[in-house]
Amino acid sequence: MKINILTIFPEMFSGVFSNSILGRAVQNGLLEITCTDIRPFSQSKHKNTDDYPFGGGAGMVMMAQPILDAMAAVSASMPGARRIYLGPRGKRLSTSLARSLSRESGLILLCGHYEGVDQRALDLCVDEEISIGDYILTGGEIAAMVLTDCVSRFIPGVLGSEDSPEEESFSDGLLEYPQYTRPRVIRDLSVPEVLLSGDHAKIKAWRRAESLRATARFRPDLLEKAQLSDRDRAVLKEMVSCSSES
Ligand code: 4G1
C-alpha cells in the first residue's frame, strides 16, 4: 500500500516509520510511505502556508493554494487513492475503519495546523475527514502517524506470518489477558502456575477468563458489544458472584 502524507513538518515522521514493525514493512516493500512537504508548493513570495482568518480572531489558517497544488501533484501520482483530512470533525478511527482503509491501494493524508485549513481546500480535495479522538492537538501529524500505524497492521505480511491482526486486543471486542515472560519469579511475584503447566486447553481457558475479567473491570462498556459465548457469560457470572462475596 502507498501512503502519502501532506504536511508542513515532514521531519516529524522519519523516526516513526523507520523503526520496529512499520520500518520492517517499509523495508520489505509492503508499505511505501512518502511525506510531501506542502511549503514548496506555495506561490507566495516567502513560501507562506498560513494566513490570517477572514472575519478576524486569534491564530492562523492554512491557505488553500499550497494544499490544492500539493494534493493535485500527489493525486496525479496515486490515481484512485483515498484522500483523507485528519481532523476533529471526522468519523472516529476504529479497528473496523482501519481494516477497511487497509484494503485501499493508496491513502493521501492531509495534516492540518494552527486553527485549521481553509474550508475550500477541504471541500475541493478531500474525500473524507477522520478523527483519532476527542482532544485538542497542535497539528494533524501525530493523528496521521496513529492512522498509518493502525492501518498497516492489517496489510497482509506486515505483522509476519505468525501474528494475526485479529488475535489482538479489541478485535473480538475484549481486552488482552495479562502476559508474562522470564524470569518465573521477580520481587516475590510468580508467573501464574497454569502458564507453566503445558496444558494448552487449560491455558486457553485461563486466558479467555482473564480477558473477560480485565474487560469487565477496566472497560465494561466493551462487554456490551463483544461477541460472547454462553461459556463466556457463565465465566463472567461466576466472577461477579465471587467479587460480591465479602
Ligand atoms: C476543536 C483531534 C478543535 C484534533 C475541537 C483529533 C479539537 C486530527 C485531529 C480541536 C485533531 C477539538 C484529531 C483541535 C486536529 C487543525 C490543526 C485541527 C490541529 C487541530 C476536539 C486543532 N484527529 N486538531 N484543533 O484539536 O487536527 O485527527
Q: Is 129 helix (H, G, I), strand (E, B) or coil?
A: strand
Nearest CA to ligand 1 atom 9: 87
**What is the pLDDT, as a whole number, of residue 22?**
96
Nearest CA to ligand 1 atom 24: 137
Q: For the whole prediction, is pTM greater than 0.85?
A: yes
Mutational pocket test of ligand 1: of 126, 137, 148, 149, the residue with most ligand atoms within 8 Å of the beta carbon: 137
Distance from C-alpha of 192 to C-alpha of 91, rounded to nearest angstrom: 41
Cβ–Cβ < 8 Å for 86, 109: yes
User: Taking the chain (246 residues) in consecutive chunks of 10 residues, what is each chunk's mean pLDDT?
Assistant: 98 95 96 98 98 98 98 98 98 97 98 97 98 98 98 95 67 91 98 98 98 97 94 94 74
Distance from C-alpha of 21 to C-alpha of 93, rounded to nearest angstrom: 20
**Beta strands 2-7; 32-37: pairing state:** parallel
Amino acid at site 234: A
Distance from C-alpha of 178 to C-alpha of 218, rounded to nearest angstrom: 13
Cβ–Cβ < 8 Å for 71, 60: no
Q: Calculate ∠ Cα 101-103-108, nearest 5°.
A: 50
With a 6 Å cutoff on the Cβ, whether 137 touches ligand 1 is yes
Sign of the dihedral through C-alpha 211, 214, 218, 224: positive
Cβ–Cβ < 8 Å for 227, 172: yes
**What is the pLDDT, as a whole number, of residue 114?**
92
Distance from C-alpha of 241 to C-alpha of 235, rounded to nearest angstrom: 10
Mutational pocket test of ligand 1: of 136, 142, 147, 149, the residue with most ligand atoms within 8 Å of the beta carbon: 136
With a 6 Å cutoff on the Cβ, whether 116 touches ligand 1 is yes
User: What grid cell was written down for 207?
Assistant: 486466558
Amino acid at site 177: Y
**What is the pLDDT, as a whole number, of residue 241?**
85
**What is the pLDDT, as a whole number, of residue 87?**
98
User: What grid cell was written down for 84?
Assistant: 483523507
Ligand 1 midpoint to CA 131 (Å): 8
In the chain the domains, ranked by start, together with CATH numbers, are 2-152 (3.40.1280.10), 185-245 (1.10.1270.20)
DSSP at 132:
S
